[in-house]
Amino acid sequence: MQEQLQKRLQSLTTEYKAGQKALANLESQKANLQETLLRISGAIQVLEEELAIAKSQENHKVDQPSLSSI
């Protein structure tokens, strides 16, 4: 009986350690993915701002009369 309990304890301990290792790997992957998403989000924001500036400048060019029409 004691031998069976010892084997079961060893089995569960091994399984627990493997689970901890898998969890650590997943947490690392999550952190890496969050960092990647943050960089992508920043790039999206910069591009949206640049497009808004370009559109604003384009609208100002249309509103101003050209020299050839004066």
Q: How far apart are CA 34 and CA 39, in angstroms?
A: 9
- Cα separation, 43 vs 48, in Å, equals 9
Q: Which amino acid is at 35?
A: E
Q: What is the pLDDT of residue 18?
A: 98
How many residues can be counted in the chain? 70
What pLDDT is stored for residue 23 in this prediction?
A: 98
**pTM of the entire predicted model:** 0.67
What amino acid occupies position 10?
Q
Find tokens 């989000």 and name the residue. 41
**C-alpha distances in Å from residue 7, one per residue of 1, 4, 15:** 10, 5, 12
pLDDT tier for residue 70 given thresholds of 50, 70 and 90 = low
Q: Looking at residue 66, what is its pLDDT?
A: 57
2-46 tens-digit pLDDT: 999 999 999 999 999 999 999 999 999 999 999 999 999 999 999
